[in-house]
Structure 1
């Protein structure tokens, strides 16, 4: 599961540019620690152009106040809620790292290095009441995440963003790719949900 991530424009010129483009779309995305239902910066393909926009994180669920924030890579095309939007409306979440919690509620931050770097997470979106909502794809954990949590976000390199957004065959292959090495940094031992 991925229940929180960081979006720090000041940490990287690349993320700052994405933030500025998102703001130009008409709404300011959440910065700092991003929570489910927050308005997020999202990269999408629109008429073969790659653009940055904003949308809330999570699909409205089947029960009141339910929010579905993740889709499992292994089964998403078997789920009616996920199959069509994955096939036609993929997205990328630009971040500066993500969080996972272990069983004793210790909070860990993950990125390629111990300092914030642009880290891109695969996702997709759909329309609910004519408004776009996005979701993050999760997969089996790599060696860094496995001791802490049984799931992690599906990560993309910068060069994989365009084919992920535009090529369903490429996207399907990416669902099973091995995840790149990451570093884990203990952030807190507070009793927080993850």
Structure 2
């Protein structure tokens, strides 16, 4: 389960461009460490091309104040809460890495390397009481993740973003994709 990620425009030129697109479109995405319910930058379909907006991270849960922040890729099409969103409103979370906590409560940062590289996470969204809200998709962990956590985000390459957003067959097939190997950096703070 991915419960935190980073969106750090000052550390990454690609993320800085995405941030600027959001700001130019009138949005104010959370920067730094992003928590559930924050307004986060999201890439979604636009009229002629993808666009960058912000959305609250998390669908409303079944109890008051509850937020559902992740959806399992293996069962997303069978879950009434997520199926229509996945089939019709896919999006992408641009990040500079994500965090997981080990069983011994050590916080680990994950990315392709030790730098703040751009890491894209697959998601979907829906509208609740007039507000757009999103969830990110998780999948079974690969070797780089399994010692820390039993889930990992569904990670897209930059050249797969448009296909994920616009091509339903690609998106359905991608749910079963192998995830890239990542580097874990334990954090002491």
Q: TM-score range by the shorter chain?
A: over 0.9
Q: What does residue 144 of structure 1 align with? A: 144
Q: Which residue of 1 aligns with 2:33?
A: 33
Residue deviations 1:93-151 (CA, integer Å, cap 9, x gap)? 00000001111111100000111100000000000001100100000111111000000
TM-score of the aligned structures, taking structure 2 as reference length: 0.98
Quote the Cα distance in structure 1 between the aligned partners of 2:168 and 2:175. 11
Match of 1:133 in 2: 133
Report Cα offsets for 1:38-85 as digits up to 9, x if no partner.
Answer: 000000012342100001100011111100000000001000010001
Aligned residues: 189
1:176 maps to what in 2?
Answer: 176
Contact 1:92 1:123 in 2 (8 A): yes
Alignment of 1:87-102 (within 5 A): 87-102=87-102
Q: Which runs of 5+ in 2 are unaligned?
A: none
* Root-mean-square deviation over aligned CA pairs: 0.9
TM-score (norm 1): 0.95
Structure 1 residue runs of 4 or more that deviate by more than 6 Å after TM superposition: none
SS at match of 2:54: strand
Alignment partners' CA distance in 1, 2:25 and 2:121: 20
The equivalent of 1:58 in structure 2 is 58
